[in-house]
Structure 1
Amino acid sequence: MLQSKKSLTILGIETSCDETAAAVIDSNKGLIAHSIFSQVTYHKKFGGVVPELASREHIKKLLPLIDELLYSNDLDLQEIDAIAYTAGPGLVGALLVGSVLANGLAFSLSIPSIPIHHMEAHLLAPILEGDDLQMPFIALLVSGGHTLLVEVQKKGSYKLLGQTLDDAAGEAFDKGAKLLDLDYPGGPAIAELALSGHPGVYQ
């Protein structure tokens, strides 16, 4: 359990898909530091994320990323009160890398490890920016692998109102871009192409 103190310093770890990320949050000051390593160049030639490749890159990059994040911001592991990590949903192998490191590191430091639900983190992320969210509210959650309409009743209480029947929006962009021989990832490529489009061509 987290001991009561004026402020808590949390190390966050994210490895749900193809980006390796870490951040340090202070419960009073907010975001202190963050760092991310993108694997886009590794997956580009395949036209999409290769799960096994993603997992291997997380293994290579995660610990050095955390070390550099702490060092470059004059932080020490001994200052960390807990470690939060993405527990799912996501790519199983990729999630496992973050989970094993987070739990192992927390155990070695005798501090708690906190599993975080990926979708709940998306829903509540605006709170980290200081937004005064009034609950309940309706959220449209659009990410690479999920497109959901959710009623956020309160923290920890959510009702799924609807979702895509097949591909999520992000997947549709990538597949559409591949059919059009555009670069990966598909979202930015299609968005750039759309800027040269002509509204009203199709009625």
Structure 2
Amino acid sequence: MPKGSPELTNARKEEIISACKTLYKDMSFKDITIMKIAESTSFSRASIYNYFETKEEIFLAILQKEYELWVDDLNEISNRHESMTKDEIADALAASLEKRALLLKLMSMNLYDMEENSREERLVEFKVAYGRSLKAVDNLLQKFCPDMDDTARREFLYSFFPFIYGIYPYTVVTEKQKAAMDQANVGYTYYSIHDLAYICAKKLLEG
């Protein structure tokens, strides 16, 4: 890591992360390289390696930020309400995930590569943010669902979180995929991120 103020280091990291995030809007994960990211920043490819060893570490940093933003949203839900019905909780969880399409995309499509090709310290930083999201949802359940004991809350968490890993592929389907499903007589019924998250959360909360 080059010498410099923490502010400068963070600013350069943010520039790299922002450039990668922008590229990911129009390019696939496999086609994005450190060189392409560097071309979208104010410094060289060699300079990027001072902050991230692999492109996967950059993507992991994006995912970490998405989790941090989700935690902020979850905490805001808890702080904004004195009481909530289970239907309102399900709707609020669904709405919070609807804002985090990038989180869902990265989780469902690229998580293994990001974790496998990142240094352990970077992975720990990410897992801290992930752990905070588990805690934030658990806090919502403790506050608004007093009928749920520790076991019930744990079962909700370890059903809902694995479920959301698969939301993105079911809600973002290309015309090619739709045509293939039609030809295979599978058919396609559109559900939004909110639709699927709400249905799952409500069923789990209702037991």
Q: Which has the higher contact order (CA 8 A, sep 6+)?
A: 2
Q: TM-score, normalised by structure 2?
A: 0.31
Q: Which has the higher strand share?
A: 1
Q: Which has the higher helix share?
A: 2
Q: TM-score, normalised by structure 1?
A: 0.32
